[in-house]
Structure 1
């Protein structure tokens, strides 16, 4: 359930693997539909959902992951419904691979590739919380932004402590993002 950290050339990669009891099509929709993303993802994603499309991330005011009215640009690198979604997040990379299980569920493998290992514990915590929110959203246990903010505040500290300990001091020198839980 926790992320693993590996070198990826001159970058670093966090990898998470989650087995979800939901069909692949349902998980796919939660990865791309704005209404779903608003509950579990740290930013709204504006732009066409297609390979090669330019996208824009807009962070809600006061969100625990972004500074007020912040925006970033990205590009969809791979869009192969319902199996593969990959896009850039500024100069970083997010990749989702969905594989159906034999029981009607889905194995979700999420990889986040980034440059600065000093941010690994912080980023591992943030994406871990997002994937927990996605899981709760898919299960029907989370459906509103206030629930999301409360969950982030509850989960951040213990997860960050875990990642600081497991990834070590060199991967832990950057703390929570601006406006995030301390």
Structure 2
């Protein structure tokens, strides 16, 4: 399911909603334990999981370069919210009848030509997370990313068209 994109100030909020047939605890573990995180978002490394703690972003380009991102909000088995560029990313996990709900929100300011790439990346990472929870793992599927990148830049995406026209 494609992200819902809403205008907010000079940017957007992208919201990805996923219903998962797994417990909150299992999903939380996949979001916060490095041996699992590396299988769906290999750039992230959990360092100090607490409010005002840090997550490391590794470039994974052979340079060894990385930078720390501040954790803005943290509630065990419920919320992980951290800086992401000039915006933020927030994961919310809550119990549902047959598993749990996972919501990823990303605040993107300013919207630019990288925005659709970022949205496609999160989309594919969430698919990889879901697959991991189901017991499957694959390397990052660039072909799927390319399909979603086209979707997030498609004419049917009016908000993205508005910003792409400003470029």
TM-score interval, smaller chain: 0.7 to 0.9
Distance 1:129 1:88 in 2: 20
Q: Does residue 104 of structure 2 align to residue 110 of structure 1?
A: yes
TM-score by length of 1: 0.80
Greater strand fraction, Structure 1 or Structure 2: 2
Distance, in Å, in 2 between the alignment partners of 1:45 and 1:89 is 14
Which residue does the alignment assign to 1:15? 15
C-alpha distance in 1 between matches for 2:108 and 2:42: 17
Q: Secondary structure at the match of 1:117?
A: coil
Gaps of 5+ in 1: 63-67, 174-182
Range 1-10 or range 93-102, more displaced: 1-10
Cα deviation, residue 83, structure 1: 1.0
Aligned partners of 2:23, 2:143: CA distance in 1, in Å?
Answer: 28
Q: What secondary structure sits across from 2:38 in the alignment?
A: helix
Report the RMSD for the aligned CA atoms in angstroms. Answer: 1.9
Alignment partner, residue 65 of structure 1:
none
Instruction: State whether residues 117 and 170 of structure 1, in contact with CA within 8 Å, keep that contact through their aligned partners in structure 2.
Output: no
Distance 1:40 1:171, change over 3 A: farther
Structure 2's unaligned 5+ residue stretches are none
When residues 12 and 21 of structure 1 are mapped into structure 2, their CA distance, relative to the original with a 3 A threshold, is same
Q: Is the 8 Å Cα contact of residues 79 and 93 (structure 2) preserved in structure 1?
A: yes
Shift of 1:172: 5.0
Shift of 1:130: 0.6
- Deviation (angstroms), 1:79: 1.1
Q: Are 1:40 and 1:134, in contact at CA under 8 Å, matched by a contact in 2?
A: yes
Matched pairs, number: 161
